[in-house]
């Protein structure tokens, strides 16, 4: 006889994720969690990362979108990489991907919003959902965390502030074909030194055909790679290689080494795929 779901499964606790550049040596993250749990003790808090390079909005934008795809509808994401804290930049609440995103209006939502057509963006203006006293240097604790907690308690999105028609966004580069080649760039360098490009499996299949991916040539400014591997251990140690990773992006790696160091790579470096 099948077991009936218990209440925690039928009515799971709300999820609030945190993505910041705060690190772990101060109490910034802990303070945000304290605010959230003080308002909603039932909230389930998930740390996406607190090791975003300081003030690096583009890295945060990529990782936020990358992680959000794996959360259930209704999840609330709080992203705080906020070099403009205390200035005139607006705090935002967006609904996209069937999830909620609370963040400063500084481009950190660019990748999320670029992937969606039907989005709703509001400015957080209702101080009822902020802490009683708001400082000018820690809106993560004073504005974003309490707003997320109140939202997780079922407060309607329209209560938080008015709809806005525009938000600050940077252009999210797309891979494209030109001159018989597939052109992309390095969009992220992870902690292992792997180069994640903006060339997707779909791009590769469209360009080369599903049966010919092992034959493609991948070129960077100072290196050339023949064919794609199936997994990291397929690549000879200390040698540059490429594969399609678990997020379906073309990735350049070095088995037991750091590809970024081998080619002195940086974000935005051009990557070309061709059929020799």
**What pLDDT does 6 receive?**
55
**What pLDDT does 142 receive?**
92
Identify which of 5, 4, 73, 8 has the alpha carbon closest to the alpha carbon of residue 42: 8
pTM for the full predicted model: 0.90
**What pLDDT does 174 receive?**
94
Q: Splitting the chain (276 residues) into consecutive groups of 10 residues, what average pLDDT does each group show?
A: 54 94 94 96 97 94 96 97 83 96 96 89 95 79 95 96 94 94 96 96 92 89 91 90 95 95 94 93
**Whole-number Å distance between alpha carbons of 158 and 147:** 12
- Six-digit token pair at 110? 């660019």
**Whole-number Å distance between alpha carbons of 20 and 79:** 6
Phi, psi of 180 (to 5 degrees): 75, 15
**Whole-number Å distance between alpha carbons of 43 and 75:** 11
Task: List strands edge to edge, sheet with 76-80.
Answer: 44-49, 15-20, 76-80, 99-104, 91-96, 120-123
**What pLDDT does 133 receive?**
73
The structural domains of the chain, ordered by start, are 7-159 (3.40.50.10790), 176-274 (2.40.30.90)
Chain length of the chain: 276
- Six-digit token pair at 269? 């470096």
**What pLDDT does 7 receive?**
55
30 Cβ contact list (under 8 Å, min separation 6): none
- Six-digit token pair at 60? 């945060």
∠ Cα 57 58 61 (to 5°): 85
**What pLDDT does 167 receive?**
93
- How far apart, in Å, do the first and last CA atoms of the chain sit? 59
* Residue pair 121/167 in contact by the 8 Å Cβ criterion: yes
């Amino acid at each position: 006889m099948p077991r009936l779901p218990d209440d925690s499964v039928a009515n799971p606790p709300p999820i609030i994720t945190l993505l910041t550049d705060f690190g772990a040596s101060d109490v910034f993250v802990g303070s945000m969690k304290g605010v959230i749990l003080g308002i909603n003790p039932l909230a389930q808090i998930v740390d996406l990362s607190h090791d975003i390079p300081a003030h690096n909005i583009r890295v945060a934008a990529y990782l936020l979108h990358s992680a959000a795809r794996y959360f259930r509808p209704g999840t609330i994401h709080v992203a705080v990489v906020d070099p403009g804290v205390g200035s005139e930049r607006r705090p935002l609440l967006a609904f996209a991907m069937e999830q909620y995103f609370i963040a400063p209006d500084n481009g950190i939502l660019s990748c999320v919003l670029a992937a969606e057509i039907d989005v709703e963006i509001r400015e957080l203006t209702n101080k009822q959902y902020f802490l009683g006293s708001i400082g000018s240097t820690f809106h993560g604790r004073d504005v974003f965390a309490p707003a997320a907690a109140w939202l997780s308690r079922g407060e309607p999105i329209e209560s938080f502030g008015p709809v806005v028609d525009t938000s600050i966004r940077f252009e999210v580069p797309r891979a494209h074909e030109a001159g018989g080649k597939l052109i992309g760039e390095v969009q992220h360098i992870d902690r292992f030194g792997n180069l994640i490009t903006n060339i997707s499996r779909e791009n590769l299949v469209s360009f080369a055909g599903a049966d010919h991916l092992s034959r493609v040539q991948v070129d960077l400014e100072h290196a050339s790679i023949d064919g794609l591997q199936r997994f990291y251990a397929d690549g000879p140690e200390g040698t540059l290689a490429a594969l399609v990773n678990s997020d379906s992006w073309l990735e350049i790696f070095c088995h037991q080494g750091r590809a970024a160091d081998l080619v002195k790579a940086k974000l935005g470096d051009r990557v070309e795929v061709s059929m020799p």
